[in-house]
Copies of this chain bind each other. A is one copy, B any other.
Amino acid sequence: MGAVKTKRMPRAVREQQMLDAAVRTFGQRGYMAASMDEIAELAGVSKPLVYLYLNSKEDLFTACIRREAAALTEAVRAGVDPGLPTDRQLWEGLRAFFTHTARNPDGWSILHLQARTHGEPFAAEVAAMRAEIVAFVTQLIVAAAREAHHDPDLAESEVAGLAEALVGAAESLAAWANATPGVTARQAAATLMNFAWSGLGNLMDGRPWTPPDALTR
């Protein structure tokens, strides 16, 4: 199970191996239950080397959070074309999000569960990333309102709640999709678009939101 024990690697490489092992261990065992011993073994190095490079369990976990947060936000950013209409942008972002979380369950566990459960300084780290995503969604909603130029009264606090609800729904669906066999990232994104864009009321009335490439795939 452990990495092949290759000796004398340059520091940068070893550090990535350690982070890989740490993300996996933290993601599966949880922050507190993960032991530095296990991480070191999985990384194929001795414990002192982990401390030499990453300083402490806390620092190591923080490094994991940062790496995974950066990877996730980057994946979403890369998946979105800012030239598209807002609903299309949201659709693309959700697809990228569900795809990335499905491919990195351990990283997602760290961001979604572990970091939030174990207080400061970890919660702040992940809150920063979350704020970035919420801001992106907020801006999409505001843009949509402007496009529709119908409801100039949409209060800021109201928008904040909506963005929070949307992001929360996405987070929950990610866990659900990961745990439910047969649910693809695409399906999860479609479900959420339907739910978020059209609302249950309209769905009931037979007016779902339609994926833009429904015909081609």
Contact = CB atoms under 8 A, between A and B. Distances in A.
Given A172-B167, A191-B165, A203 B151 contact: yes
A205 interface: yes
Contact of A116 (B113, B148, B176): B113
A88 to B, nearest CB: 13
A161 B148 contact: no
Given A144-B204, A199-B195, A30 B161 contact: no
A90 to B, nearest CB: 8
A99 interface: no
Interface size class on chain A is 35 or more
A194 interface: yes
Contacts of A198: 199, 201-202
Interface string A176-211: 100000010001100110111111111111100100
A214 interface: no
